[in-house]
Amino acid sequence: MPATTQRDGLSTIRLIFAMFIASMVLIGVVLFAILSSAQPKDAGAVPWLVAAAGVASVVTVQWSRRRPLDTSSAAKLAATYRTYWFMGLAFAQTAGTFGFVGAFVVNRWWIFAEGFVFSAVGWISIAPTDAALGRKDDELAAAGVPYSLRQSLRDTVPPAASR
């Protein structure tokens, strides 16, 4: 039986984050290949709908970032951060998904790019970087919270994959 390595919770979140971004990039590459030979249709209101979805996406990402974390224990701190972080990731992906659908509807690749830009703004907002986690730890410490978010995430073992 091969040895398995156990990832900590922070490494897992970062890996998932990278996978979501990579998947959206790959979708764009495939979409470009498919639509490069397609006959474009009148875009009509589609770019405006994608822009509206993008603005809503950015607003909801910010909302998820500002949700209060449960600081009653290190485990609850990590759990609420993960919950709101995944909500933010889903909201960020929404704009790119609307762009994907819009691009197919009117056979114009740039509409996907429009949605992708809004998604990128969301990703930047929720990126689990050392700097972002450090800022959050500073906020928590200033509020008198005795737990480090970064350490709480590292100490959390992600759920095992079901077989």
Q: What is the pLDDT of residues 17-67, one digit of tens each?
A: 999 999 999 999 999 888 888 888 888 999 999 999 999 999 999 999 999
Q: How far is CA 122 from the centre of its chain?
A: 7
Q: How many domains does the chain have?
A: 1
Of 129, 106, 105, 107, nearest to 17 (Cα)? 129
Q: Is residue 18 part of a domain?
A: yes
Q: Is residue 161 part of a domain?
A: no
Q: Which two tokens stand for residue 108?
A: 């114009």
Q: Tens digit of pLDDT for each residue in 80-121?
A: 999 999 999 999 999 999 999 999 899 999 999 999 999 999
Compute the distance between CA of residue 152 and CA of residue 77 in angstroms, rounded to an integer: 7
Q: Is residue 162 part of a domain?
A: no
User: With 80 as the cut, is the pLDDT of residue 160 above it?
Assistant: no
Does residue 14 or residue 7 have the better pLDDT? 14
Q: Is residue 113 part of a domain?
A: yes
Q: Is residue 49 part of a domain?
A: yes
Compute the distance between CA of residue 127 and CA of residue 132 in angstroms, rounded to an integer: 7
Q: Identify residue 72 by its one-letter amino acid code.
A: S
In the Cβ-directed half-sphere of 82, how many Cα atoms lie within 13 Å? 21
Q: Is residue 66 part of a domain?
A: yes
| Helix/strand/coil percentages in the chain, nearest 5 | 70, 0, 30
Q: Is residue 37 part of a domain?
A: yes
Exposure letters 31-43 (e unless 16+ CB within 10 A, then b): beeebeeeeeeeb
Rounded to two decimals, what is the model's pTM? Answer: 0.85
Domain of 122, in residue numbers: 9-154
Compute the distance between CA of residue 14 and CA of residue 32 in angstroms, rounded to an integer: 27
Q: Identify residue 38 by its one-letter amino acid code.
A: A
Q: CB of 12 within 8 A of CB of 86?
A: no
Q: Is residue 1 part of a domain?
A: no
Give the model's confidence band at 5: pLDDT under 50 very low, under 70 low, under 90 confident, else very high.
Answer: low
